[in-house]
Amino acid sequence: MLNPTAFEGTVVYVAGGTSGINLGIARGFAAHGANVVVSSRSSDKVSAAVETLLADGARAADGFASDVRDYDATAAGIDAAAARHGRFDVVISGAAGNFPATAAGMSANGFKAVVDIDLLGTYNVFRACHRHMTRPGGSMIAVSAPQSTLPMPMQAHVCAAKAGVDMLVRTLAIEWAPEGLRVNAIVPGPIDETEGMNRLAPGAKARAVVEASVPMGRYGTVADIANGALLLSSPLAGYINGAILPVDGGWSLGGAAAAMTTLARAAGPKPGGE
């Protein structure tokens, strides 16, 4: 267990940090003493997340609204946050989009939207934060997904986007390591009470299929992913760079693709998003 003050005085920025896994990551760092900045497209969600973090006891928390697909707007928010806090020690890029749809059934705009949010958004966040990172010792983490390496029906858009995220992480890990920055990714498994799993495995029967496919026999928690981010950003991981770390109870060892294929066949074709 990390010391409760392990990140005291550090500045952590979480893109997409207003809900779900990403808010959980922000809360995890705040609980260990960090000053936390969050962002998302909705100013109302940003305000609510900041209130939550402060109510939890965060030493300092603020945020800004921007769409990660818009580099200029995202960079402007990041520059302003960096000016307030002085620098970033940890950056988490977690904004993501998903909906189940066959490749032939989804619109071109639907495919593009997910690639733009996941892949372009990760690049935009990392690129805009690069000049503000603590050196040496800065940690940058992308939130990836099992679809980056495991093909799944009704997930062509996510598979393509997250595969790109993983390769971006590896490339930046090579380019930026000489500057004293580490770049890694976390791959969450099925995480309880998240929008993603509610969409991909809705209902008790679908949940049972997923749980049976996880070697540890259960869904993970948001805290499990937060702990992974804390580990990768701590001195304990000082020689870990370019890693794509599954935090999934072993789901990616074979059960993930099989379970999602079973669920996709049971659900039948679905229209795509715009």
Give the tens place of pLDDT for each residue, 125-151.
Answer: 999 999 999 999 999 999 999 999 999
| pLDDT at residue 272 tops 60 | no
| pLDDT at residue 264 tops 90 | no
The string of DSSP letters for 187-250 reads EE-SBTT-HHHHHHS-SHHHHHHHHHHSTTSS-B-HHHHHHHHHHHHSGGGTT--S-EEEESTT
- DSSP three-state, residue 107: coil
Residue 92's H or E segment, with its range, is strand 90-93
Give the bridge partners for 187, in sequence order: 246
pLDDT, the chain, mean: 94
Q: Tell how far CA 137 is from the center of its chain.
A: 20
Cβ–Cβ < 8 Å for 53, 79 = no
The CA-CA-CA angle for residues 189, 120, 274, to 5°, reads: 80
The pLDDT tens digits of the residues spanning 23-65 come to: 999 999 999 999 999 999 999 999 999 999 999 999 999 999 9
Q: What is the pLDDT of residue 270?
A: 57
| pLDDT at residue 273 tops 60 | no
Q: How many helices (H) and strands (E) does the chain have?
A: 10, 7
For 105, residues 6+ apart whose C-beta sits below 8 A from its C-beta are: 269, 270, 271, 272
- DSSP three-state, residue 15: strand
The pLDDT tens digits of the residues spanning 158-204 come to: 999 999 999 999 999 999 999 999 999 999 999 998 888 888 888 89
Position 274 confidence tier, pLDDT thresholds 50, 70, 90: very low
The pLDDT tens digits of the residues spanning 214-250 come to: 999 999 999 999 999 999 999 999 999 999 999 999 9
Backbone angles phi, psi at 42, to 5 degrees: -100, 120
User: Cα–Cα distance between 268 and 181 in angstroms, integer?
Assistant: 45
